[in-house]
């Protein structure tokens, strides 16, 4: 308890040095939080689905001379047949992402949808999406029904209940709103405002005037997903899937392969590059902040050395002083964390202009919690070095002059800082 009292006493008396250390640590934490929250966001894609680790997307593979070509698109009818024959699966779903959409109209007001899917009746149950309004079963009974996302329904109808209302695609094709579903999170590879039941080919003809060929070699614009049984080996399932493809396609040159949905976004080359660069920058920024803190602490050695020696004369041990310095670091880092959170949310508008992802999607409680993992190594680097130096001060310094020479420590820390900056 006395050590904690001594720590608070020093922190309240020597405000200048403490402000420097808090400022250095706060700025490092702000930049680090922005970078690491983006990393946490990019690595969390499609992990919110129920049993996400068992959900796989089927992709079309062409065997090439040097490497295989992989595409998202599938042939609709063959995939539905293969999916039903595939062993060790619990369920599956298929949808068609509509492209080049023209506006939907409600009361002569145009509304541009950010994506529209034609999906089978198990789509919502498969991905664990709930309806906030309407009935799921009756909504899939007609191809002229449409489901809207919560945000889309809010834009079109305000606070009114949209179920039963009629909207017109391109002022001609009428669709009845059958329900409203929860918006998919921003960290989802699926992004759409509306969904139309996929029961026959009519909706496609109604919307764009063309009829996609669902046979082998036809329109490969469908997307297919399956959920495996617990404990299923994806490699063996892929082997079975290739055998089934060979039976229907009569060739080994083209087949389907399953990919885990939790890896789809992260396996993108651009995403991997961004994650690496942001992680590296965050590491450098936080390391420099820790080095600045350590240097600022060591700079007070000339004025605090005799005080530490007097503590030892009064019965304190080297380990006690070591713990006292760590307590001091913990208090200052805690204050820096609070200031960093305050700065991030105070300057959310300028930060939003810098980052491309919505602020509310990146700075979630989950992402900020993940970034707290860096606090432990930050605390150790910033706290252990000064604590080791101050705890090694000899008792003799309380009675006579003692040459304090810690140039090697300072030069070493400065070398690391310059190396990080380079």
Q: Is residue 253 located within the same domain as residue 317?
A: no
What is the 8-class DSSP label of residue 374? G
Please answer whether residues 257 and 58 qualify as being in contact, where contact means their C-beta atoms are separated by less than 8 angstroms.
yes
pTM over the 0.85 mark: no
Domain count, the chain: 2
Please answer whether residues 198 and 205 qualify as being in contact, where contact means their C-beta atoms are separated by less than 8 angstroms.
no
Locate 78 and state its tokens: 């063959």
Q: Is residue 237 located within the same domain as residue 92?
A: yes
Please tell me the distance from the alpha carbon of residue 55 to that of residue 259, in angstroms, as a whole number: 8
Please answer whether residues 236 and 96 qualify as being in contact, where contact means their C-beta atoms are separated by less than 8 angstroms.
no
The angle that helices 375-391 and 269-299 make with each other, rounded to 10 degrees, is 20
- Reference 147, options 134, 129, 161; nearest CA is 134
| Bridge partners (DSSP) listed for residue 96 | 118
- Reference 44, options 405, 404, 370, 307; nearest CA is 370
Q: Is residue 173 located within the same domain as residue 197?
A: yes
From the number of C-beta atoms within 10 Å of its C-beta (0-12, 13-18, 19+), residue 124 rates as buried
Please answer whether residues 215 and 81 qualify as being in contact, where contact means their C-beta atoms are separated by less than 8 angstroms.
no
Q: Is residue 249 located within the same domain as residue 276?
A: no
Q: Is residue 246 located within the same domain as residue 330?
A: no
Which of 264, 280, 313 is the last residue in one of the domains? 264
Please answer whether residues 188 and 51 qualify as being in contact, where contact means their C-beta atoms are separated by less than 8 angstroms.
no
From the number of C-beta atoms within 10 Å of its C-beta (0-12, 13-18, 19+), residue 360 rates as exposed
- Reference 348, options 356, 331, 330, 360; nearest CA is 360
Q: Is residue 273 located within the same domain as residue 259?
A: no
pLDDT digits (tens, 9 = 90+) for 64-109: 666 677 777 777 666 677 777 788 888 889 888 887 788 999 988 9
Q: Is residue 129 located within the same domain as residue 23?
A: no
Q: Is residue 253 located within the same domain as residue 367?
A: no
At 401 the pLDDT is: 55
Strands (E), 276-358: none
CB half-sphere exposure, 368, CA atoms < 13 A: 14
Please answer whether residues 110 and 87 qualify as being in contact, where contact means their C-beta atoms are separated by less than 8 angstroms.
no
Give the SS3 label for residue 194. strand
For Cα atoms 251, 254, 260, give the angle at the middle one, nearest 5 degrees.
135
For Cα atoms 31, 35, 38, give the angle at the middle one, nearest 5 degrees.
145
Which of 232, 264, 296 is the last residue in one of the domains? 264
Which of 229, 264, 299 is the last residue in one of the domains? 264
From the number of C-beta atoms within 10 Å of its C-beta (0-12, 13-18, 19+), residue 326 rates as buried
pLDDT digits (tens, 9 = 90+) for 149-193: 999 999 999 888 999 999 998 888 899 999 999 999 999 999 899
Q: Is residue 407 located within the same domain as residue 361?
A: yes
Please tell me the distance from the alpha carbon of residue 221 to that of residue 204, in angstroms, as a whole number: 12
Q: Is residue 212 located within the same domain as residue 164?
A: yes
- Residue written as tokens 């309380």? 398
The angle that helices 269-299 and 407-421 make with each other, rounded to 10 degrees, is 160
Range of the domain at 320: 2-43+268-421
Got the DSSP string for 91-159?
A: EEEEEEEE-SPPPEEETTEEE--S-EEEE-TTHHHHHTPPEEEE-HHHHTS-TTEEEEEHHHHHHHHTT
Which regions in the chain score pLDDT beneath 50?
Answer: 200-201, 203-204, 206-208, 210
Task: Give the pairing of strands 166-169 and 116-119.
Answer: unpaired
Locate 6 and state its tokens: 């001594």
Q: Is residue 209 located within the same domain as residue 151?
A: yes
At 339 the pLDDT is: 93
Q: Is residue 278 located within the same domain as residue 222?
A: no
What is the 8-class DSSP label of residue 404? -
């Amino acid at each position: 308890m006395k050590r904690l009292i001594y720590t608070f006493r020093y922190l309240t008396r020597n405000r200048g040095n403490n402000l420097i250390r808090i400022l250095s640590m706060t700025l490092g934490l702000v930049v680090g939080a922005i970078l690491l929250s983006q990393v946490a966001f990019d690595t969390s894609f499609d992990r919110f689905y129920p049993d996400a680790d068992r959900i796989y997307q089927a992709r079309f593979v062409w065997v090439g001379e040097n490497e295989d070509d992989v595409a998202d698109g599938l042939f609709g009818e063959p995939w539905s047949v293969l999916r039903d024959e595939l062993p060790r699966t619990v369920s599956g779903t298929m949808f068609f992402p509509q492209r080049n959409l023209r506006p939907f109209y409600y009361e002569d007001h145009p509304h541009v949808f950010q994506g529209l899917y034609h999906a089978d009746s198990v789509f919502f149950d498969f991905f664990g999406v709930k309806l906030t309004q309407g009935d799921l079963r009756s909504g899939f009974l007609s191809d002229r029904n449409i489901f809207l996302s919560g945000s889309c329904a809010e834009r079109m109808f305000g606070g009114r209940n949209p179920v039963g209302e009629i909207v017109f695609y391109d002022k001609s094709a009428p669709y009845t709103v059958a329900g409203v579903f929860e918006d998919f999170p921003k960290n989802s590879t699926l992004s759409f405002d509306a969904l139309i039941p996929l029961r026959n080919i009519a909706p496609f003809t109604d919307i764009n005037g063309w009829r996609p060929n669902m046979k082998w070699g036809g329109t490969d614009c469908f997307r297919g997903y399956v959920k495996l049984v617990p404990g299923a080996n994806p490699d063996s399932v892929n082997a079975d899937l290739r055998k089934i493809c060979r039976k229907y396609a009569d060739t080994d040159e083209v087949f389907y392969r399953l990919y885990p949905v939790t890896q789809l976004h992260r396996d993108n080359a651009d995403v991997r590059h961004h994650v690496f660069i942001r992680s590296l920058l965050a590491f450098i920024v936080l390391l420099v902040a820790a080095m600045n803190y350590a240097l600022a602490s060591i700079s007070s050695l000339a004025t605090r050395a005799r005080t530490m020696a007097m503590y030892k004369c009064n019965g304190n041990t080297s380990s006690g002083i070591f713990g006292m310095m760590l307590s001091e670091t913990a208090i200052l880092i805690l204050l820096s964390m609070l200031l960093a959170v305050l700065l991030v949310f105070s300057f959310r508008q300028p930060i939003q202009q810098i980052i491309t992802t919505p602020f509310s999607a990146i700075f979630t409680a989950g992402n900020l919690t993940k970034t707290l993992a860096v606090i432990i190594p930050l605390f150790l680097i910033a706290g252990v070095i000064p604590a080791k130096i101050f705890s090694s001060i000899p008792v003799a310094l309380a009675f006579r002059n003692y040459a304090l020479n810690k140039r090697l420590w300072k030069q070493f820390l400065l070398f690391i800082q310059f190396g990080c900056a380079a």
